[in-house]
Amino acid sequence: MDTLQILLDFFAGYGYLAVFAVLLICGFGVPIPEDITLVAGGVISGLGYTNVHYMFVVGMAGVLVGDGVMFLAGRIFGHKVLRFKPIARILTQERFEAVQEKFEKYGNWVLFVARFLPGLRSPIFITAGMTRRVSYWRFLIMDGFAALISVPVWVYLGYYGAANRDWLMTMVHRGQAGILSVVALLLLVVGFVWLKRRRLSCVKK
């Protein structure tokens, strides 16, 4: 049985609470695809079990709370958090060093991009908390902005594709590529604006 069907059977019985719980553990690094979880939440709305607009709110809450817990774990416990075996498996020494390098290179924008990198999302959020490079509220703003791109896409895609599974799965694969393209375009625009401002400030000096 595929992951989507397993989630649909579970969500149909327990509704919003089940969707929130699964998204929460996704944020903890458990290998359940977040996009498929959100799509499944949209599908049960399309089938009449829940309201799709409420499901969007639940989806946002689930991903932000899960991400926030990872950030706060790193911030509160620092390097001691690595003594906790489940987190130590997610945040290996190699990943920790790689994430630090990305922060040095790209700054806080790493937090925005992390939402679209399933394998690196939790390590990046934990590291951000550990290194205290960014405040909790700035973290929520960056992560929330990214979530506002991905969450509605998956939830409403599931809602509109609930009656046609083949079409839905085709669009899920296209949606994954499409979201990454949009993110890449946004980063290019931000990079261009930043470079332009930097050049102007250098000229003024």
Q: What is the mean pLDDT of each run of 10 residues along the chain (205 residues)?
A: 84 94 87 89 94 96 93 86 76 77 75 78 84 85 89 92 81 64 60 65 62
Q: Are 60 and 23 in contact (CB under 8 A)?
A: no
Q: How many residues does the chain have?
A: 205
| Buried/exposed code over 87-117 (b: 16+ C-beta within 10 A; e: otherwise) | beebbeeebbeebeebbeeeeebbbbbbbbe
Residue 183 is encoded by which pair of tokens? 């993110």
Indicate the SS3 state at residue 49.
coil
Helix, strand, or coil (residue 117): coil
Backbone angles phi, psi at 32, to 5 degrees: -115, 125
Residues 6 or more apart whose CB falls under 8 angstroms from that of 58 comprise: 16, 19, 20, 41
- Pairwise CA distance, residues 30 & 32, whole Å: 6
User: Given this model, what pLDDT does residue 178 score?
Assistant: 56
pTM: 0.79
DSSP-derived 3-state class of residue 64: helix
Do 138 and 149 contact (CB within 8 A), yes or no? no
76, two tokens: 């509160």
Alpha-carbon distance of 22 to 33, in angstroms, equals 10
Q: What is the pLDDT of residue 191?
A: 61
**Torsions phi, psi for 203 (to 5 deg):** -65, -40
